[in-house]
């Protein structure tokens, strides 16, 4: 009986063996698919890296050099005589008064080199002699080194006071409503000075910071400043 060949492939059912061209096309398709997968993984990794980078920037520590302003009085150093190195509005009768100091002498404080009290000169000054009803007097406490060598003085708010009187009437004191105070040691060169300025809001105060409704009247007032046990000669000014 005559037999008939239906194919030469290895599988049954009469299938044909794929040609070499088919094998080449299949290998090319597999290679292209692999390249696409690698590219997709690379892009995904880059995107993920970018997201984590942005997250680190947003949640990480602040950039170097950033500062937070401290609370409390601010002190600034200067080697030139100040006109008004720092100032603050005077407190109302229900708020603390906070004079501020500005240095005119440099150097590092040394607690072992305190000024002789006899060499510490305390002076009171005002920016004007007469004030219109709309003006707030600016008062100054000046501390000078009258000695021949540099020395250290505590010029903090723990030591200073501004007192206003009118005749026998005690009108105002900067410590009446002062909630807290601090020490501040500064080295003052011979002939150098420290200056604290204070803007008086034309209000009355009493010890304990009890509210006083009465406002100071027009007329002549006397300013005396104090640093520790040292007090200034009085100076006068007029409220119109």
Give the pTM. 0.58
Domains of the chain as residue ranges with CATH:
76-232 (2.60.40.10)
Give CA–CA dist 49/44, Å, rounded. 9
Give CA–CA dist 202/191, Å, rounded. 33
Instruction: Assign 61 to helix, strand or coil.
Output: coil
pLDDT of the chain, 240 residues: tens digit per residue = 444 444 444 444 455 555 666 555 666 555 555 555 545 544 444 433 333 333 333 344 333 333 222 222 323 333 333 333 333 333 333 333 556 554 444 455 555 599 999 999 999 999 999 999 999 999 999 999 999 999 999 999 999 999 999 999 999 999 999 988 999 999 999 999 999 999 999 999 999 999 898 999 999 999 999 999 999 999 999 999
């Amino acid at each position: 009986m005559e037999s008939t060949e239906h194919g030469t492939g290895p599988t049954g059912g009469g299938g044909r063996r794929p040609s070499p061209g088919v094998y080449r096309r299949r290998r090319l398709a597999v290679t292209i698919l692999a390249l696409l997968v690698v590219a997709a993984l690379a892009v995904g990794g880059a995107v993920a890296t970018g997201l984590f980078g942005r997250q680190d920037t947003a949640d990480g520590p602040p950039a170097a050099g950033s500062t937070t302003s401290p609370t409390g009085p601010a002190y600034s150093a200067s080697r030139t005589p100040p006109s008004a190195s720092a100032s603050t509005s005077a407190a109302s009768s229900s708020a603390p008064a906070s004079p501020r100091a500005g240095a005119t002498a440099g150097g590092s404080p040394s607690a072992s080199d305190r000024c002789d009290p006899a060499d510490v000169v305390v002076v009171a000054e005002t920016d004007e002699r007469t004030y219109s009803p709309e003006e707030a007097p600016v008062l100054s406490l000046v501390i000078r080194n009258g000695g021949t060598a540099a020395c250290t003085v505590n010029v903090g708010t723990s030591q200073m006071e501004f007192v206003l009187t009118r005749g026998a009437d005690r009108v105002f004191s900067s410590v009446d409503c002062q909630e807290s105070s601090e020490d501040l040691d500064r080295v003052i060169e011979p002939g150098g000075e420290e200056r604290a300025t204070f803007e008086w809001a034309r209000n009355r105060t009493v010890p304990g910071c009890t509210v006083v409704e009465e406002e100071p009247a027009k007329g002549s007032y006397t300013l005396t400043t104090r640093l520790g046990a040292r007090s200034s000669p009085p100076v006068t000014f007029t409220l119109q």
